[in-house]
Structure 1
Amino acid sequence: MVSRRRLKSFLTGLALYMMAAGMVGYFGVNAYTGKYGLNARQELDQEIIALTAELARLKKERSEGEQRVSLLRSDRLDPDMLDERARFQLDYANPHDLVRMTAPN
């Protein structure tokens, strides 16, 4: 009788420790590999770096575009820019221009 009670208390304690170890293991694995874990943080940092570089490139591209558009405004029209845009839209080339033909990809 005493040995059964002792065995039951030992097995109950062992089961509780096993459940606690399982929970700690589960949360430990998720802390490393989960959606918000350490690996995900590293991937997010790399994505932040890539997107920051792309943002800088797009800002530069936009400022260049704004500068080109400002040259076409009516209050300060640049004749060279007007000539370039007219030739591009009309597919016109001056006989003295050097034209290089490339094959489409």
Structure 2
Amino acid sequence: MRRVVWPLFAFVIIGNFAGYAIAGDNGLMAWGGYYRALEEREAELAALEAQRDALRHRSELLDPRAADPDMAEELVRRDLGLIREDEIIITLD
């Protein structure tokens, strides 16, 4: 009986580790989920980088040393309420 117990115990331990290596949280079957999550995060990163670039461009247009006159006029008129109801503002974004 003792000859069977230790090899059986070792087999159970090795089987446990093999099971977690295949179907565990970080196992082989979880890799597909990691790739999907990576693709989602990369798409989110691309959208945030595009938003950052747009904000950087807009802030460059409002640089006090060389402000874009059209952008400055648009912001001042909008913030101070100097836009008439019959005017149409077309943004170039």
Do Structure 1 and Structure 2 share a fold, with TM-score over 0.5?
yes
User: What's the TM-score, normalizing by structure 2?
Assistant: 0.76
Aligned residues: 89
RMSD value, Cα: 2.1
Aligned letter for 2:37?
E
Match of 1:25 in 2: 15
Q: Does 1:41 align with 2:31?
A: yes
Match of 2:47 in 1: 57
Match of 2:67 in 1: 77
Distance verdict in 2 for CA 1:26–1:61, change over 3 Å: same
Percent identity over paired residues: 27
Following the alignment from structure 2 to structure 1, what is the Cα–Cα distance between the partners of residues 65 and 50? 25
Shift of 1:22: 0.8
Following the alignment from structure 1 to structure 2, what is the Cα–Cα distance between the partners of residues 32 and 79? 63
Following the alignment from structure 1 to structure 2, what is the Cα–Cα distance between the partners of residues 92 and 13? 94
Following the alignment from structure 1 to structure 2, what is the Cα–Cα distance between the partners of residues 84 and 39? 55
Report the structure number with the largest CA radius of gyration.
1
Match of 1:13 in 2: 3
Larger % of helix: which? 1
Q: Does 1:96 align with 2:86?
A: yes
Following the alignment from structure 1 to structure 2, what is the Cα–Cα distance between the partners of residues 14 and 87? 88
Aligned letter for 1:48?
L
- Which piece of structure 1 moves more, 76-85 or 61-70? 76-85
Q: After TM superposition, which residue ranges in structure 1, 4 or more long, deviate above 3 angstroms?
A: none
Shift of 1:98: 4.1
